[in-house]
Structure 1
Amino acid sequence: MGLTENAVKVLEKRYLAKDENGKLLETPDKMFRRVASAIAQADKFYDENADVKKTEQEFYEMMSNLEFLPNSPTLMNAGRPLGQLSACFVLPIEDSMEGIFEAIKQAAMIHKSGGGTGFSFSRLRPKGSTVNSTGGVASGPISFMKVFNAATEAVKQGGTRRGANMGILRVDHPDIIEFITCKQENTEINNFNISVGITEKFMQAVESDSAYDLIDPHSKKPAGKLNAREVFKKIVDSAWQNGEPGIIFLDRLNKDNVVPEVGEIESTNPCGEQPLLPYESCNLGSINLALMVKMNEGKVEIDYEKLAGTVQKAVHFLDNVINVNQYPLQKIDEVTKSTRKIGLGVMGFADLLFKLGIPYNSSSGVQLAEKIMHFISEEGRTASMHLAEQRGTFPLFEKSIYKALGVKVRNATVTTIAPTGTLSIIAGVSSGVEPVFALSYIRNVMDNDELVEVNPIFNQVAVDEGFYSEELMKEIAQAGHIEGFIQIPQRVKEVFVTAHEISPEWHIKMQAAFQKYTDNAVSKTVNFKNEATREEVAQVFELAYKTGCKGVTIYRDGSRDLQVLNIGKVKGKEDNEQEEKQDGEYHIMPRPRPEITTGFTEKVGIGCGNLYITVNYDQQGICEVFTNTGRAGGCPSQSEATSRLVSIALRSGMEVKAIVEQLKGIRCPSTIRQRELKVTSCPDAIARVIEKVVKLQNGNANKEVQLTTEEKKKTGSVSGDAVCTVSDSCSNPEHQSVAVGKYCPDCGKIVEHEGGCVICRNCGYSKCG
């Protein structure tokens, strides 16, 4: 089947069926057979004598050969009791308390079934508006976003992870400034990606440096003016700081709305690539372009015949999904089937370029992207027309733009470029249309063993060119790229470029090339180096507008981590003053929290689950402790209070030994009942970890603090960069930021930012928001 060891690990962890005890009930082969069988059954809806077994075999071979994979909910749930197969949903939010909480309830049902939701909060009246029914005042969209976020936090997708949301607010909403900055703290609204809904009128005002009207969504009347260029600068500044918000060009989404008289497109799915009407859902799938090649006279070239056949089978597959899907709400069932939208995309594009010897950041690379997507779009539309002849057009066809064109199609939309995250790990290729994040990386395979994993195409070139060595691959893994390695020929360096070596302009040019022939939108992250300026971010937003993109997401390397690390100059002596005179008396004041610390995190078994204890120190000694309880519960408020008081005491100059003596030996009934535990309570556990850190840091603290920031990043020894084993349920602000920053909270490896989400290619961890 060609599955890598990592792919099997991800499948076992997240996709394969298990019993109530977590024991695997199927192999990857059986999973593909299960999915193929379930999806093929839809053929009987249209022909009682359909050769379902033949269809099943076609679908099975296409998936098991890793030529095409559907979105994750289809792999997970097809042929199983849950049966919910769509990844993308959009729900409307009406401007009433009943409407708001109905949307929250509906979102909970979708998240429970494994889907992600998109919302426009633009219909909600602004903060401070009068509410006639109660005589009170409205709390505004951002306040209710926090309610949606809390509800998402309480519901796990399919019992395994938190749901993901997209929150959109129109740029002409009176609360737009508050919305732009609502995620500057990484602990706020962290189950949402956010995007500003940009209009053509606004962008014209930006260009002319003029004011534009804010519109009250309740009264539909002007509610003030703002300078467009100043608002644009605020969007740029916030995106530069931590990657949010993204921008969505609403007028462009509606220009391509296939059924404009039915409704207006207000929002997209969580990653921004799928614009949908209220209550619509869409199922996605991706073709593995890395396998759409053949050899011709010793040269690699695209196998367009194979690609055409795969497109036709994939469209058939995705159309079938619509029928066998068990939708979480009846309204979604009805609306989805009225337009029958599907989203066929690609993955492995960067690997295809490697095989062809074409640089990603080149005119030939962009031209190839346009050519391939044009081909897939034409073949996909032809396949949809063929299905329309057999099964009929989508029900709203008479109200669609296709009626005037005289083209009968089965599906209102056919193509979407989605992020492929874990799907690309399963297929063993690059994600979506993104460049590769790294050519070589180190993966932990046992407790202390490390395995160097190398992009297989680069690995083969290295062998063929004679510069391969395991030591070199380790060095490349540390560097993250091959620039500067004199052992590697220049022509190889030009082809095998990674995400951060590619200028933002080329990222946008590539996105625009794929967008030109994509019905829906393109999920793509424009990567910036850490030293990028706000002006460069602004230029990319403007370029995305000028080149016809429907939206854009950017991420400046390390920007979210720096929010946690707060790296800057070391504070002087005046900042460390520990006494302050008030009313003629001296009071002990804790020194400020250091801006750079070294630390350790340890998991300790307690009577009611696990307690995760982090102890950090600087050149003056231990300076802070924080804790987080595992999913089993515990006493989070008490342990947090203990750690806060300990941290203040430590920074106030109290001896560590005295603090340990006070905490050590405190007993808790829940630990006493379990004799195998090594601690007697949460405070006792904290004391023991502090003791351990004291022993570890003695004689080493000064040496550790002298490490450069880059060295600390590599070793994970900067506060906030330590591996957090609490995963996405971590409530500690520092740990929560790590989950969406640079390092995976499950395995500690560097994550990739993609379409507003993060994905770890080492263990398959993913999180949006």
Structure 2
Amino acid sequence: MTTLTLPSEDTFSPFAETIYKQKYAQPGEEWRDTARRVVETVMKPYFPELVEEMVEAVATRKFMPGGRYLYATGKRFHQTQNCLLLKVEDSRESIADLLQRVSSGLMTGAGIGIVWSALRPNGATVEGMGGTSTGPIAFMQMVNEVGRHIMQGGARRSAIWAGLHWNHPDVLDFIRLKDWSDDIKAAKEKDFNAHAPMDGTNISVILDDGFFAAYEDTTDPMHDWAQKVYWEVVEHMLTTAEPGFSVDVGENAGEHLRNACTEVTSSDDNDICNLGSINLARLHTKEEFARLVELGTAFLLAGTCYSLVPYERVAETRTKNRRLGLGLMGIYEWLVARGYRYEANEELANWLDIYARSTEIAARYAARLGISAPVKTRAIAPTGTIGILAETTTGIEPLFAVAFKRRYLKGKEWYYQYVVDATAKRLIEKYNLDPEQIETAYDLAKDPEARIAFQAWVQQWVDHGISSTLNLPAADQQEFTHQEFGEMLFHYLPKLRGVTAYPDGSRGGQPLTVVPFWEADGAEGIEYEEIGADSACVGGVCGV
């Protein structure tokens, strides 16, 4: 058996230290203490012989458990798995039941993803009550407001996703849900907490095999509708950012339920996701990577036995499916360190072949425990705060920016810190690079096909989905036409499980704002409070 040889721990950057202490550290804990708390509690009852290796893997940030593991492990209500995947049927009983499940899920720390396609459209007859239906959008907005007022697990802003199929009669209204007025955008810029329609919910139009057939076949009765829906979404992706597309075709047909960030998929109501990521940027050999695939798979499988859930129906679905979301992070840093561009290459393909072994590994360990084998095992999550702790590029995404301001919620108030990206900092220091010459997502934004092609290529090894946001220039600075973008995207769509775009500045009060390196350099670790359009320093000495 190959075992891991790991370097000594290094220290967190100021911003990573802030996020760790604010969100995950229990009183008196340092990072190694957190690693031991999480790994021993989750794994020791099931795979005691793997505990010490896994503690070292987490302590050195080669494997990062999902944020719920870091936060909830060891607590009395230890729900360490993430988002609920839900659907609703066309009855008042089902809608009422859904709202109860949403509230229970959010209060216990789960994000929420809901497919609304079964509900009758706005204006349809409700025979029993003698009235007309409000349609699914009214209930989506209700859930959005539930999320606004319930702190997820009592500690963080709620994460919600809503999906509607392309052929639902209300889909055009759904597509236009986030066409915020200039006044609303200005209010968001002035106060990040300002209300806006569906501002706490990610939205996607769901595409299935029927969509692609109708889009291509001019004799199909739904051809014109499919074309109209597609190009309307493309228009919005390039201007207002949402909706995106969720794609469930071929062998994945019917798996249209998603978690809040859309990387975990299911066809079964009350499913739950279960996340942890291998940090490729800290690995040097395929043998080491293979060992981490084994350890990470075993850890997440143990988590399906350890974690509590919000209500019993979730446990029933989990027992049947036992979905794992073993992910990757640091892919872009891995590429840069080897002199590769952001594109497919043979060496990475060899590593991804190893990653795909998680299916057989999960089945072997499940048989040992006498439990059901996971139906799917790999999902690449956006790894937001976990990526900050790991200090590498998130998921499959390129370096977002060399320096930026990042807003975050602390209690009920919004704060921000300046951040010099840890990966960028290493490249600057190791190779004496000019910060302005480092390629970032903003550089690649001018060539969206490079991002989409790479995502489609990696998807071959991922049996769930990949959560990745396609950064684009602001709508008035895009050098490609909507027609060119839409034709390019359609070519890749059947190879994807989903796609989301974000044109710069398309949302007021966006959480990440790119700044010049010189503005952030020397200002890290200082916490500023968002007060209207201005900022004030919090915590004593500002230094700027």
Q: Same fold (TM over 0.5)?
A: yes
Q: Structure 2: how far apart are the matches of 1:452 and 1:256?
A: 39
Residue number in structure 2 paired with 1:414:
377
Matched ranges for 1:686-697 at <5 A: none
2:214 aligned to 205, 212, 221, which one?
Answer: 205
Residue number in structure 2 paired with 1:83:
78
Q: Structure 2: how far apart are the matches of 1:461 and 1:123?
A: 50
1:358 aligns with 2:358: no
Residue number in structure 2 paired with 1:646:
none
1:95 aligns with 2:103: no
Gaps of 5+ in 1: 18-23, 44-49, 214-224, 258-263, 294-302, 395-409, 445-449, 477-481, 483-495, 564-709, 716-722, 728-734, 749-769
Q: 1:198 to 1:724 in 2, by over 3 A?
A: farther
Q: Structure 1: how far apart are the matches of 2:238 and 2:430?
A: 41
2:420 aligned to 433, 453, 465, which one?
Answer: 453
1:385 aligns with 2:329: no
CA contact (8 A) 1:3 1:428 kept: no
CA contact (8 A) 1:180 1:235 kept: yes
1:500 aligns with 2:448: no
CA contact (8 A) 2:403 2:418 kept: no
1:28 aligns with 2:31: yes
Residue number in structure 1 paired with 2:40:
37
Q: Deviations over 1:303-323 (max 9, x none)?
A: 010001111011110000001
Q: Structure 1: how far apart are the matches of 2:265 and 2:361?
A: 22
Counterpart code for 1:72: G
Matched ranges for 1:188-587 at <5 A: 188-208=197-217, 212-213=221-222, 227-252=225-250, 255-256=251-252, 264-276=254-266, 277-293=268-284, 303-360=285-342, 362-364=343-345, 367-378=346-357, 380-392=358-370, 394=372, 410-440=373-403, 453=420, 455-456=422-423, 459=425, 462=428, 467=432, 473=435, 476=436, 482=437, 496-502=438-444, 503-530=447-474, 531-532=477-478, 533-546=481-494, 548-561=495-508
**Sequence identity percentage:** 27
CA contact (8 A) 1:111 1:162 kept: no
Deviation of 1:269 (Å): 0.6
Matched ranges for 1:54-65 at <5 A: 54-65=49-60
Deviation of 1:356 (Å): 0.5
Deviation of 1:534 (Å): 2.0
Residue number in structure 1 paired with 2:162:
167
Q: Structure 1: how far apart are the matches of 2:442 and 2:161?
A: 26
CA contact (8 A) 1:515 1:522 kept: yes
Q: Structure 1: how far apart are the matches of 2:426 and 2:125?
A: 67
Q: Deviations over 1:56-81 (max 9, x none)?
A: 32221111011101111111001111
Q: Structure 2: how far apart are the matches of 1:746 and 1:193?
A: 30
Q: Deviations over 1:547-589 (max 9, x none)?
A: x1111111112222499xxxxxxxxxxxxxxxxxxxxxxxxxx
Q: Structure 2: how far apart are the matches of 1:163 and 1:462?
A: 36
Q: Deviations over 1:500-550 (max 9, x none)?
A: 22211110111111110111011111222222232243134313325x111
Larger radius of gyration: 1
Q: Deviations over 1:700-738 (max 9, x none)?
A: xxxxxxxxxx999x99xxxxxxx99469xxxxxxx7xx9
Q: 1:136 to 1:369 in 2, by over 3 A?
A: farther
Residue number in structure 1 paired with 2:413:
none
CA contact (8 A) 2:79 2:109 kept: yes
Counterpart code for 1:275: T
Q: Structure 2: how far apart are the matches of 1:443 and 1:120?
A: 31
Question: SS at the partner of 2:260?
Answer: coil
CA contact (8 A) 1:285 1:345 kept: yes
Q: Structure 1: how far apart are the matches of 2:302 and 2:280?
A: 23
Deviation of 1:460 (Å): 5.4
1:4 aligned to 8, 12, 21, which one?
Answer: 12
CA contact (8 A) 2:86 2:114 kept: yes
Deviation of 1:236 (Å): 1.2
Counterpart code for 2:442: H
Counterpart code for 1:436: L
Q: Structure 2: how far apart are the matches of 1:426 and 1:711?
A: 21
Q: 1:460 to 1:429 in 2, by over 3 A?
A: closer
Q: Deviations over 1:227-272 (max 9, x none)?
A: 32222221111222211000111334xx237xxxxxx433201111
Q: Structure 2: how far apart are the matches of 1:393 and 1:284?
A: 19
CA contact (8 A) 1:8 1:28 kept: no
Task: Compute the TM-score of the two structures, normalised by the length of structure 2.
Answer: 0.83
Question: SS at the partner of 2:507?
Answer: helix
Deviation of 1:189 (Å): 1.0
CA contact (8 A) 1:168 1:195 kept: yes
Q: 1:544 to 1:135 in 2, by over 3 A?
A: same
Residue number in structure 2 paired with 1:612:
none
Q: 1:452 to 1:554 in 2, by over 3 A?
A: closer
Q: Deviations over 1:407-447 (max 9, x none)?
A: xxx21111111111111111111111100012345899xxx
Deviation of 1:370 (Å): 3.5
Counterpart code for 1:552: V
Question: SS at the partner of 2:99?
Answer: helix
Question: SS at the partner of 2:239?
Answer: helix
Q: 1:416 to 1:711 in 2, by over 3 A?
A: closer
CA contact (8 A) 2:166 2:207 kept: yes
Deviation of 1:208 (Å): 4.4
Deviation of 1:289 (Å): 0.1
Question: SS at the partner of 2:461?
Answer: coil
Task: Compute the TM-score of the two structures, normalised by the length of structure 1.
Answer: 0.59
Question: SS at the partner of 2:238?
Answer: helix
Q: 1:440 to 1:155 in 2, by over 3 A?
A: closer
Q: 1:500 to 1:451 in 2, by over 3 A?
A: closer
CA contact (8 A) 1:286 1:344 kept: yes
Q: Structure 2: how far apart are the matches of 1:711 and 1:428?
A: 19
Counterpart code for 1:265: E
Say how many residue pairs are matched: 489
Q: Structure 2: how far apart are the matches of 1:201 and 1:328?
A: 35
Matched ranges for 1:614-763 at <5 A: 725=529
2:22 aligned to 13, 19, 25, which one?
Answer: 13
CA contact (8 A) 2:331 2:396 kept: yes
Q: Structure 2: how far apart are the matches of 1:549 and 1:339?
A: 22
Give the root-mean-square deviation of aligned CA atoms: 3.1
CA contact (8 A) 2:215 2:224 kept: no
Q: Structure 1: how far apart are the matches of 2:304 and 2:18?
A: 29
Q: Structure 2: how far apart are the matches of 1:104 and 1:429?
A: 37
Residue number in structure 2 paired with 1:579:
none
